[in-house]
Amino acid sequence: MERNEQLHEEAEVALDEINKKTGRNMPQAVGTAVVLIAVILAAMLLSIDLFVALIVVFMILALWELRVDFATVGLHIPFVMLCVCSAATLFATYYAPLHVVAMALCAMASIMLVSMTATAKLSFGNRLSLAVADKLSNTEAGARLESSFNHEGGEQHHSRLSHVSVSVLTVLYIPVLAACIVMPLTFHGHPVAHAIMLVFLPALSDTGGLFAGAWLGKHKLSPRISPKKSWEGLAGSVLFAMAGAFAVMFCTYTSDVWAAMWWVPVLEGVLVGVTGTFGDLCASMIKRDLGIKDMGHLLKGHGGVMDRVDSILMAAPFTCILLWFTGL
pLDDT tens-place values along the chain, 328 residues long: 555 555 445 445 554 555 555 555 555 666 667 788 888 989 988 999 999 999 999 999 999 888 888 888 888 899 999 999 999 999 999 999 999 999 999 999 999 999 999 877 666 556 666 666 666 666 655 555 556 665 554 556 677 888 899 999 999 999 999 999 999 999 988 999 999 999 999 988 988 887 877 777 677 777 777 777 778 888 888 999 999 999 998 888 888 888 888 899 999 999 999 998 888 888 888 888 887 777 766 665 556 788 788 889 999 999 999 999 998 8
- Give the span between the Cα atoms of 8 and 189, in whole angstroms: 51
Element (H, E) at 210: helix 191-216
Give residue 289's identity as a one-letter amino acid code: D
* Cβ-based neighbours of 303, under 8 Å, separated by 6 or more: 293, 294, 295, 296, 297
Q: What is the pTM of this model?
A: 0.84
* Residue 137 CB neighbours (<10 A): 7
Query: What's the confidence (pLDDT) of residue 7?
Result: 47
- Give the span between the Cα atoms of 318 and 312, in whole angstroms: 11
Q: Which of 49, 79, 81 is nearest to 185 (CA)?
A: 49
Query: What's the confidence (pLDDT) of residue 90?
Result: 97
Query: What's the confidence (pLDDT) of residue 146?
Result: 58
Rg (Cα) of the chain, in Å, rounded? 21
Query: How large is the greatest C-alpha to C-alpha distance in the chain, in angstroms?
Result: 69
- Give the span between the Cα atoms of 262 and 267, in whole angstroms: 10
* Residue 296 CB neighbours (<10 A): 22
3-state SS assignment for residue 42 = helix
Helix crossing, 48-71 with 26-46: angle to 10°? 140
3-state SS assignment for residue 254 = coil
Instruction: Locate the DSSP E strands across 260-301.
Output: none
Domain ranges of the chain: 2-326
Instruction: State the Cα angle at 253 between 252 and 256, rounded to 5°.
Output: 165
* Cβ-based neighbours of 200, under 8 Å, separated by 6 or more: 37, 40, 244
Tell me if 102 sits within 8 A of 96, measured CB to CB: yes
Instruction: State the Cα angle at 204 between 194 and 258, rounded to 5°.
Output: 50
